[in-house]
Structure 1
Amino acid sequence: MLLLILLCNDVAENPGPYENEISIFHLNARSVRTKLEYIETLALGSSIVYITESHLDETIFSQDIHIDGYHQELYKMIGTALAGGVLVYVSEILKTKRRLDLEFENGELIWLEIDFPQHKILLCAVYRSPGSSHPFWQNFKHSIEQAYNYTTKIVITGDLNVDLFTEHNHVLNDLMNIFCLQNVVKVATRFDNRSGRATLLDPILISEDCCATFTEVIDINRQMSDHNATKVYLRIPNFSEKNFTRTIWLYKHADFTRFNNDIQNLIGKLL
């Protein structure tokens, strides 16, 4: 029976995180409220889930958008005029705290500190709207400087609305050079259906002391977002998560016609 269900493509096997690794997922969702199930499926097994352009307000509570396997209390940064915003889910097995001292006024970003047995990592999820003023970059530079005063293990991801394919003289490139940050995303992350233009707006920037073992860009249903998702796996020495395997049944996506035909064929063979 399990074999038949697997053939219907309505089940995903989640092997859990690898030992000595964590994974960080990011998606510009352009609103979370009606896409939670889709996001949960995409980000399944990720240690940390970053959502930019969450489009939340004070009327949406953590329990309204909770995902199983993650801490009940979410980290949220409310955007302006129901636009923008940052949302962070953290796996129940990770110990984190928000670093408000690294954030700045009118900046849509969340800094998190993760405690591991032998070191700490600072993670930043950031959204910069296309119309952000120049002080954003000055403040962001100061924020990164302060983070480096605490640790040299830093990861920054999100939607900065800077096309790293074409804007080679942008201040973001200067910051990457100053702080020795490497972008591990090498392909387009946003697609404009009208112009056909593909851009790289969603980088994953890691410091020299962080080790990325694998990076992927995940195709997204264009009805959900015009951005693709990104995911990076980081090696964390001497860190072991509780590995598990679980089966997720996605009945909404099942091919029941094929399922019934397979059952009838199996019954016919048994008879």
Structure 2
Amino acid sequence: MMNKRYRLHVAQLNVRSLLCHFSEFKETLYERKFDICCVTETWLKDEPDYLVNIDQYDFVRNDRLTRGGGTGIYVNKNIKYREISFKLNLENTTIFLEYDQFKILICAIYRPPSVDKKFLIEDIEDSLLASIPYSENLVIVGDKNIDVSNTKGADCVFYLSALNTFGLAQLVDLPTRKDAILDHVITNTPEALKDVKAVNYHYSDHDITSFTVDVDVSHANFKYVTYRDFRNFSPSSFSDELAYSSLDEIFVLRNIDDKVAHISCVLTRLFDKHAPVRSCRITKPPAPWLTNEIRQLMNNRDRAKKKYRKSRTALNR
């Protein structure tokens, strides 16, 4: 067995205007060395990417395009990930990460105070259901504008009861804005998340909430399969060479074992030439559902997304 251990450092912040606090925020990322940092209330409106780019990080963003709001996730460039599109009521950004056999979805959701809490509950349930094809590990972060420190309040009771029904846990137990716990870390695998902290930085009235994900991957050595490669096989060429081979020498051989050995030798030599033996490493199970039609749709999606990122117009959205 092979064992690998990763420690993923994740953070979230309601930044309340990324552009206004960009220099301080960038210094925070470099200082704390977060692998992933989710941001809410970015207040971005189609500003070009270079204004909020940070060396060593990719930035996945979803702007509101009107005043306020907006979500995004900074991801260290050394991490393999892809953006997942969840159609939710509230603003959100979601990424999918895969470490060998360990997979995790991280979703940043922002609920403005004016939006009914029932939409947040619906989105959390929808996120949990939508995550099933991707991973057993789901983490939802972001400013929910529900104070879970007020455990006797009707909003808190309703909210935490719903999370419990879905098999989810809220892990932040320290104030994140003044005396209130508004910025939450929700997960269906609380045992995988460690060191949940809240640290104040002067440029936002919300604390940065951070945690680590310890990923201990144990898996067997890669499986190898051997096969004959028939991609360039020509039946006519094979038949021609077989016709001029020494196969007819079996008629002068008297021992049956010698006849079988001669036939095997001639045929193996020809197949080695026309359909050589190859070996390959199996790293993923077969996916029979991934048809050519689905692959084409995935390619179309990726091209459209790339086009929109280059030119963020309503036509390309």
**TM-score, normalising length: structure 1:** 0.71
Shift of 1:236: 1.2
Question: 2:150 pairs with 166, 172, 175, which one?
Answer: 166
Amino acid in structure 1 at the alignment position of 2:142: G
**Structure 1 stretches (4+) deviating beyond 6 angstroms?**
none
**Partner amino acid for 1:108?**
E
Cα RMSD of the aligned pairs, angstroms, is: 2.0
Instruction: Quote the offset at 1:136 in angstroms.
Output: 4.1
Q: Aligned pair in 2 of structure 1 residues 135, 238: CA closer, same or farther (>3 Å)?
A: closer
- Deviation per CA, 1:176-218, whole angstroms, max 9, x where unpaired? 2023222221110002xxxxxx100001112226512312111
Report which stretch shifted further, 35-44 or 225-234. 35-44
Rounded to whole Å, the distance in 2 between the matches of 1:227 and 1:22 is 22
1:31 offset after TM fit, Å? Answer: 0.1
Higher helix share: 2
**2:199 aligns to what?**
218
- Aligned equivalent of 2:167, options 180, 186, 190: 180
Q: Which runs of 5+ in 1 are unaligned?
A: 1-18, 192-197, 240-271
- Contact 1:153-1:210 within 8 A present in 2 as well: no
Q: Contact 2:44 / 2:65 at 8 angstroms: preserved in 1?
A: no
Matched, 1:86 2:66: no
Distance (whole Å) between structure 2 residues aligned to residue 158 and residue 136 of structure 1: 11
Matches within 5 A, 1:9-158: 20-44=6-30, 45-58=33-46, 60-71=47-58, 74-79=59-64, 81-100=66-85, 102-104=86-88, 106-133=89-116, 134-158=118-142
Instruction: State the TM-score, normalizing by the size of structure 2.
Output: 0.61
* Count, aligned residues: 208
Match of 1:236 among 215, 220, 226: 215
Asked if 1 retains the 8 angstrom alpha-carbon contact of 2:102 and 2:215, the reply is no
Higher relative contact order (CA 8 A, sep 6+): 1
Question: % of aligned pairs identical?
Answer: 23
Cα distance change, pair 210–77 in 1 and its aligned pair in 2 (3 A): farther
CA distance in 2, matches of 1:209, 1:149: 20
Distance 1:77 1:209, change over 3 A: same
> Which segments of 5 or more consecutive residues in structure 2 lack a partner in the other structure?
219-317
**Post-superposition CA distance 1:137-168 (Å, at most 9, x none):** 32432222221353221111110001001155
**Cα deviation code 1:213-240 (max 9, x no counterpart):** 312111121xx2211111111101249x
SS of 2:126 mapped into structure 1: helix
| In structure 2, C-alpha distance between the alignment counterparts of 1:167 and 1:146, rounded to whole Å | 29
CA 1:113/1:210 → structure 2, altered by over 3 Å: closer, same or farther?
Answer: farther
